[in-house]
Chain A
Amino acid sequence: MSGLRWVMAGMACLALLAPAAAEPSQKVRMEVMVSHISNEPGEVDPRADEIDRKLRDQFRYESLTVIQTKTLTLGLDEVGSVRLPNGRRLQVRPLQIDDRGVLTAVSLEGSVDADLRIRNGHLVVIGAESYRGGKLVVSLEPHF
Chain B
Amino acid sequence: MTLTRPDTTEPPIGIRDERRLHAYHDGELRGLALWRFERRLARSPELRDELQALRRLGVLAREVAPDAETPDLWQDIARRLPALDARRIEEELRSREPAGARLWRPLGALVAAAATAALVFALWSSDNAHAGVVRWLDSGGRNVVVLEDDADVTIIWVFGDSAGGPGRGGGA
Contacts and interface: CB of A to CB of B under 8 A. Distances in A.
Q: Do A and B bind each other?
A: yes
Contacts of A44: none
B153 A125 contact: yes
State the main secondary structure of chain B at its contact with A: mixed
A116 interface: yes
Interface residues of A, number: 46
Contacts of B82: 105, 113, 115
B33 A59 contact: no
A114 B86 contact: no
Nearest to B33: A20
Interface size class of B (residues with CB under 8 A): 35 or more
Contacts of B157: 58-59, 126-128
Interface stretch (A2-10, A61-69, A91-99): A91-99
Contacts of B136: 114-115
Contacts of B155: 54-55, 58, 124-127
Interface SS majority for chain A? strand
Interface string A84-107: 000001011101100011010111
Given A115-B86, A122-B153, A127-B157, A58 B133 contact: no
A22 B33 CA distance: 10
B172 interface: yes
A103 B83 contact: yes
Contacts of A22: 30-31
B80 to A, nearest CB: 8
B165 A92 contact: no
A92 B172 contact: yes
A41 interface: no
Interface string B141-172: 00010010010111111100110011110111
13 contacts: A16-B32, A19-B31, A55-B155, A79-B171, A79-B172, A93-B172, A100-B90, A100-B131, A103-B87, A105-B80, A109-B165, A111-B140, A121-B152
Closest A-B pairs by Cβ, 3 of them: A19-B31, A91-B172, A113-B168
Given A112-B140, A116-B133, 5 more contacts: A96-B87, A107-B172, A115-B82, A118-B154, A130-B161
